[in-house]
Amino acid sequence: MLDILEPKKETPLEPEEDELMPIRSSETFQDIKHRHLEGNPPKAFDGNRARTIQFLTQFKRFMLMNQKANIAKDPIAKCCYFLALFEGSKVEGWCE
């Protein structure tokens, strides 16, 4: 017989109890709930244009290393953290 004429079986939208996503053995409940930043954060940026590329590279590398941290996953928190690294009279207006 032709399979085209047979009605298609509907797939359930929600997974069956047996099909729940497994938890990776390397992750514990505490790891999933609170992931903090690790490593050395970039030095504060004082507005010195000669250090701009260096600062941005350090920040990107730091966030890449901490991509599973809560701050790195939340764009607003990540932006606030980025601005918190600005210090000095040249960058005061940027953080207000």
pLDDT, tens digit, 9 for 90 and up, residues 17-49: 544 445 455 555 454 566 888 999 999 999 999
Looking at the domain assignment, is residue 10 inside a domain? no
pTM: 0.62
Looking at the domain assignment, is residue 11 inside a domain? no
Looking at the domain assignment, is residue 52 inside a domain? no
The pLDDT, as a whole number, for residue 75 is 93
- What is the Cα–Cα distance from 68 to 87, expressed in whole angstroms? 27
| Domain housing 72 | 68-96
Looking at the domain assignment, is residue 85 inside a domain? yes
Alpha carbon dihedral 27, 34, 65, 45, in 10-degree steps, equals 180
